[in-house]
Amino acid sequence: MACTVVWFRRDLRLADHAALSEASRWGAVLPVFVLDRDLLFHPETAVARVAFMLASLKALDRDLRQRGGRLLIRYGEPAQELLKLVRASGADGVIAHTDSERLVGRVRDARVSNALAAAGIPLRWMEPAGATGELLAYSAWSRQWHQAMATPSLPAPEHLVVPPASSALPDLPVPSLEDLDLKADGKPIPPGGSAAALERLEQFCEGAASRTYYWELSYPSARVTTGLSPYLKFGVISPRQCLQRLAWLLPQAGQGRGREPRSRSALQLASRLRWGCAIHQRFRYLPQLELSALWNTFEAPDGNAASLSAEQEELHAAWSAGRTGFPIVDAAARCLQAEGGWLELNFRSRAIYASFLSNLCGIDWRFGALHYMRHLIDGDCPIDHYQWAMQAGVTYHGSKAWTRIYHPGQVAVDRCDPQGLFIRRWLPELRGLTNDQLGSPPAMADYPAPVLDYETSRKRRLESLEQQRLQIGDVKAVMARLPSHLHPFGYQRIAQADVAWADGWASRSPGELQPSAVDLERLDPAGWRALMSWFSGSNSNRGGSAAKQANRQPRARRREPSPGQLSLDLGIELD
């Protein structure tokens, strides 16, 4: 039967799935997901995240079967598995969304592109809504993103024609963790599938959380987070689906913007969804941000960044285990290891925990990013890594550069957990303390003394960052390049990590990845202006205010929605 292979990856849904919608209009489809050892045993892979992915694959298979289809599960090297499927099914070609989350995926997709091209098999890549392969200035990207998000999301196909199971195309069950040689680590796994994601979205929009999210989102004990992050990470629900549901919480045309709590919460959540999409677009242009800071002056001069001194190893161990002597830091550590962070470890808790390691312990932020990714059920490489780099202060430069170093003592407790609910939940040994003792507990037999002095550590970090920023100079020269090797940072510390894919990709050009990266060596002045608009302080080192004014582009008015198009004017500034 002539058909099109639809290769699912981080888009485990049927609705708002452009590749599936396109292929099903052509005729029969063959949905497939390939379990790739390079990803399963990547040093940053969390076993609990794999478990959630497997649950979502089972749900996707059920959804497909309700429409006359099924999901083919294969295990192996994706290029070879797709070749075998095309030949066994007689498919006309393969269609898939682009995926620029991480380098291992871009190497995988380059291999698939090359293998299918060599076999004469058509392969069509489709951009997810709001993403683009074109190098745009940030303001231009933001405008097209708003327009894409306001375009009605695609409905799930009502019926699918899929080749029946046969000896050539057998049905294989979604494997267990044990089948994949992975061992569960005890974290509770949220239910997988689009129905569960939509239910969470609806609970947020109609429940109490939407009335307080806009001001309680910094309080971990408030538990107002949506819980959508694992579903967004694997594309079980799309940002556009979320935004178009949130749009109904906003004042309707002619009613004014208003300050109604649910509208304010919708705006807060929408801005975070856009922020996540923008971070992914940054990584689309510069995948080296997975491996390094934005500016190479922040890299270790001896090239030995992946090693720690004996003192740093002790600090890292205390930070990882939740034994630093700073309760709000230790509560975050234990929450992450016990539950994977997706529901209770909100952005403020993650930021305080991250700032402690990189700024106060003086440890390279990439050690922290590695630890997070090995535990987060919602771990998303661009969001995780760039947030870590931001908290460490290594994305900024110039006279206006700043570094937020969170005070991990009573200041953080008063601002983020004033009633001590989060701390007492995760540090039961401190339940007998008063709220004003939770920032600096008295000496206790079962709780450690602080591992460092805040003021001394903060002063040392600020001095170090200032010296490193002074060395930046010409940003074009010091912007990090894609290294000749793509080995993940710290892989040597992880038992069973498989990095053979990186060994085989040494010294290739950025343009050979799929999707390709921006080649900084070939970028013209217009390209540099567009690229630098994505990064804070990028125009501050040359040209003065006159040059800035000359380069400033007039803000275009947002296009009016077409008839039948949902208005999604979320009131977010474009630049």
Per-residue model confidence as pLDDT tens digits over 97-151: 999 999 999 999 999 999 999 999 999 999 999 999 999 999 999 999 999 999 9
pLDDT mean over 471-482: 92
Calculate the alpha carbon distances from 422 to 213, 328, 346 in Å.
17, 8, 11
Per-residue pLDDT, 80: 98
What span, in angstroms and rounded, lies between the C-alpha atoms of 8 and 130? 19
pLDDT of 557 over the 90 cut: no
Structure-block tokens of residue 202: 């609806």
Helix (H, G, I), strand (E, B) or coil at 69: coil
In DSSP terms, 31 is beta-bridged to 6
In tens, the pLDDT along 376-412 reads 999 999 999 999 999 999 998 776 677 889 999 999 9
pLDDT greater at residue 193 or residue 471: 193
pLDDT at 175: 98
* Average pLDDT along the chain: 91
How far does Cα 559 stand from its chain's mean position?
A: 29
What pLDDT sits at residue 402? 74
By C-alpha distance, which of 201, 231, 197 is closest to 213?
A: 201
pLDDT at 252: 65
- Average pLDDT (336-351) is 94
Which pLDDT band, with edges at 50, 70 and 90, does 304 fall under? Answer: low
Return the pLDDT at 41. Answer: 98
Task: Compute the average pLDDT of residues 534-562.
Answer: 46
**DSSP letters spanning 483-548:** PS--PPTTGGGSTT---HHHHTTTT--GGGSSSPPP-GGG--HHHHHHHHTTSTTTTSSSSHHHHH
Q: Indicate the range of 164-168, 293-297, 560-564 predicted with least confidence.
A: 560-564
Residue 424 corresponds to which amino acid?
R
Task: Give the rounded percent of residues in the chain with a pLDDT score beyond 90.
Answer: 82
> Are the C-beta atoms of 409 and 436 separated by less than 8 Å?
no
pLDDT score at 251? 73
Instruction: Give the pLDDT mean for 187-210.
Output: 97
Residue given tokens 């913007």 in the structure block: 257
**What does the pLDDT read at residue 552?**
44
- The pLDDT confidence band at residue 502, using thresholds 50, 70 and 90, is very high
Measure the CA–CA gap between 55 and 49, rounded to whole angstroms.
10
Question: Burial code of 409-432, b = ≥16 C-beta within 10 A, e = fewer?
Answer: bbebbeebbeebbbbbbbbeebee
* Averaged pLDDT, 205-218: 93
